[in-house]
Structure 1
Amino acid sequence: MSNSSTLTALVHTLRHEAEGIISVDLRPHGDSVFAPFDAGSHIDLHLPNGLVRSYSLLNSPAERGRYVVGILRDRGSRGGSQWVHEQLRVGSTLQISAPRNNFALDTQASHSVLVAGGIGITPIYCMFRQLLALGKSAELIYCARSRKEAALMEELNGINAKVVFHFNDEKDTLPDLRHYLAGQPTDTHFYCCGPTPMLDAFESTCESLGYPHAHIERFAAAELPPSEEAQDSYSVELKKSGKTVLIEPGLNLLDVLLEAGCDIEYSCREGVCGSCETKVLDGEVDHRDSVLSKAERAANATMMVCVSGCKSRRLVLDV
């Protein structure tokens, strides 16, 4: 559920991309106008069964008037990807959000290394094409369980740039990220999208190799319990409305803000999509999201109110 405004999109094309993966080509329907987007962006699909799911855009930002997402039929699907694979049809309509970007591409980097795991190729492919279109130095490392489960292979084989493939069944081992990432200049920007174990390995590898510019995007929320400094109860001053609300044990900050009449966009309620990002004016946040980087958390300028808490007794939000 989301209180954000949505657009009506027409399902123009459904295409088999790999085993268990389809792409969905969405076009504006009725009075809808698709906003432009940057590489690394995602949109929310508001499914007829009541679920909201976020998917990365894989087509070129230069293409106006269409959004293309790649969707893996998740083995543990709770009804999102399963519904898309079984029920979605060409010609049907969906409510979608405008694009958001928590995985922004630095197009000024001297060199970029992009790492994709499985369906994580969707934003990575878009970013890779964008860098190459701009004449930038970039290389791609694409990891998947098998070649038949790897989407966009035909497109990647046709790109005149360095692309390294690692298929677990052919290599008979999981990818050694240190082997693939070592030896790069320290000003290189690294990007990774894929399953949680790969992202964790990517972050620790970049840190151990002394690479300061490491960027990730998660599909699923990281399990982040409250910190030892987290307060069981705290007050929140709402700067725009002048109200003050109390967050008591067991209450969710987002729920309390919505009940107080705050106009806050939200979607995943898991700290992954970034739609509920809210400006922090005062107080110390207990960050539990999977969106903000370590530096952004340290800056304490914004928070994801759907999952995060507070380390101080008082919090002031710009709502």
Structure 2
Amino acid sequence: MTAQPMTLQLRVAEARELNPLIKTFRLRSADGGVLPGFAAGAHIRVRVELPDGSADWRHYSLINFSADAKATEAPTDYVIAVRKEAEGRGGSRFMHERLREGDTVTIEVPKNDFPLHTGPGGTVLLAGGIGVTPLASMATRRRAEGLPVRMHYAGRSRELMAFVPELQALLGDDLRLHADVEQGGPFDIGAMLDGIPAGDRLYVCGPKLMLDAVLAQTQARGWTHDRVHFELFTTPVVEEGDHAFEVELAQSGQRFTVPADQSILDCLIEHGCDPMFDCKRGECGVCATPVMEGEIDHRDYVLTAREKAEGNVMQICISRAKGQRLVLDI
């Protein structure tokens, strides 16, 4: 049985458009009281309504630019930023188009799957697009502690990048901005990595292409896993060649067809099953499921290369079948 997190009913105290794609929301309790605390990197999940009338949850990082410890230990509001995804399932459109100041929204209390580690060495932050949100809180925390921190922030254009003035005020020369349209091309990940001292940790949040490139290049340079921390800021998308396949649950004998545009996890939930899960992006490992038969198309960021090669476990929120059938030991 999946544990149910505590939920809160909060009021939208402020809804503000930062640019045509990004909107910020300030959420408070009805009585203005203290909310559960959080640490840099934490997120809340917000209940949204999709175009078909069904409800779902969306994950948004908590943003803090205050050096005052009370701002996160005993906050009176939560601040999030939402990027409108025109091609998404509708969660961000709900937030942008239907949620207004004064409305009430259901959230799950803060959770942190992307913690800021303590210890010697500097901290380097790499943000891609809206992935800046958890890293802004990390930069604020490091500054408040008087510890070294640098941020690289990449986006398509400066006009569509969020919180640039706040980050410039916070970090000064320790902020490096990269706008593709100004630089004539994408951010140079290799050059950034070559400039990071051996003792520093790297925190990355952004789209899948950025994360895949960082992981490939740090591995090629022999970086240990504990030096690279990441959070993916996009949900899984249908890839070329994705096809429908059958999933059999060995313990019950149930069989379901997983469509090309649906995950195994969502298919099981739709059919009344109750699998364990959390992030739905292949990062946390909660939905790891034993596989008895079938070839797995691994797409997660949890399993090691050896575990993937052994082919007896998969993350059902994101990985798929290479063939026509999988038998899961559930």
- Short-chain TM bin: 0.7 to 0.9
How far residue 51 of structure 1 moved from its aligned partner, in angstroms, is: 3.5
Answer yes or no: is the 8 Å Cα contact 1:51–1:79 preserved in 2.
no
Partner of 2:178: 166
2:63 pairs with one of 22, 34, 58:
58
SS in structure 1 of the partner of residue 117 of structure 2: coil
**Preserved CA contact (<8 Å) 2:289 2:315:** no
What is the DSSP-based 3-state SS (H/G/I as helix, E as strand, rest coil) of the residue aligned with 1:24?
Answer: strand
Instruction: Quote the offset at 1:234 in angstroms.
Output: 5.7
2:281 to 255, 265, 271: 271
**Compared with structure 1, are the counterparts of its residues 71 and 190 closer, same or farther at alpha carbon in structure 2 (3 Å cutoff)?**
same
Question: Does 1:216 find its partner at 2:230?
Answer: yes
After TM superposition, give the deviation of residue 40 of structure 1 in Å: 1.3
Structure 1 pair 24–248 and aligned structure 2 pair: CA distance change class (3 A):
same
Partner-residue secondary structure (3-state), 1:207: helix
Residue 273 to residue 79, structure 1, CA distance change in 2 (3 Å): farther
2: CA distance between counterparts of 1:296 and 1:69?
A: 38
Whether the 8 Å contact between 2:300 and 2:319 is mirrored in structure 1 is: no
Residue type at the aligned position of 2:177 = F
TM-score (norm 1): 0.76
What is the rounded CA distance, in whole Å, between the counterparts of 1:111 and 1:296 in structure 2?
Answer: 31
Moved more, 60-69 or 115-124: 60-69
What does the per-residue CA deviation read over 1:213-252, in whole Å, with 9 as the maximum and x for residues that have no partner?
2122112227799xxxxx96464xxxxxxxx544646474
Q: SS where residue 23 of structure 2 aligns?
A: strand
TM-score by length of structure 2 reads 0.74
Q: How many residues align?
A: 302
CA 1:130 to 1:315, structure 2 compared with 1: closer, same or farther past 3 Å?
farther
What CA RMSD, in Å, does the superposition of the two structures yield over aligned residues? 4.1
- Asked if the contact 2:265/2:275 (under 8 Å) is kept, the reply is no
2:286 maps to amino acid = E
Question: Which residue number in structure 2 is paired with residue 188 of structure 1?
Answer: 200
SS at match of 2:114: coil
Alignment partners' CA distance in 2, 1:74 and 1:188: 34
Structure 2: gaps (5+ residues): 65-70, 241-245, 259-263
- CA displacement at 1:61 relative to structure 2: 2.9
User: In terms of mean alpha carbon deviation, does 89-98 or 160-169 score higher?
Assistant: 160-169
CA deviation after TM superposition for structure 1 residue 280, in Å: 7.7
Aligned to 1:228: none
CA shift in 2, pair 1:154/1:12, >3 Å: same
Q: Which amino acid counterpart does residue 271 of structure 1 have in structure 2?
A: R
* Distance across 2 between alignment mates of 1:30 and 1:283: 53
| Partner in structure 1 of residue 46 of structure 2 | 45
AA matched with 1:209:
R
Give yes or no for contact 2:289–2:328 (8 Å, CA) kept in 1.
no
SS of residue paired to 1:215: strand
* TM superposition shift of 1:3: 8.2
> Which segments of 5 or more consecutive residues in structure 1 lack a partner in the other structure?
226-230, 236-243
1:7-46 matched pairs, under 5 angstroms: 7-29=8-30, 34-46=35-47
Secondary structure of 2:18's match? strand
User: Quick check: 1:145 aligned with 2:156?
Assistant: yes
Q: Decide which moves more: 33-42 or 145-154.
A: 33-42
Alpha-carbon displacement from aligned partner over 1:261-293 (angstroms, at most 9, x marks no partner) = 858565x7x43585x925889999x69564636
AA in 1 matched with 2:220: S
Contact 2:236/2:318 (8 A) holds in 1: no
Given the superposition, is the C-alpha separation of residues 283 and 72 from structure 1 closer, same or farther in structure 2, using an over 3 Å criterion?
same
Query: Paired residue for 1:4?
Result: 4
Partner Cα separation in structure 1 for residue 215 and residue 102 of structure 2: 41
Percentage identity across paired residues of the two chains = 27
- 1:79-133 CA deviation, whole Å, 9 max, x = no partner? 2212211221111010111222222221224111110011111011111111222
Distance, in Å, in 1 between the alignment partners of 2:161 and 2:57 is 25
One-letter identity of the residue aligned with 1:214 = V
Residue matched to 2:243 = none
1:39-93: CA deviations, max 9, x gaps?
1122111124423221111126345232111111123233221221122111101
Q: Secondary structure at the match of 2:143?
A: helix
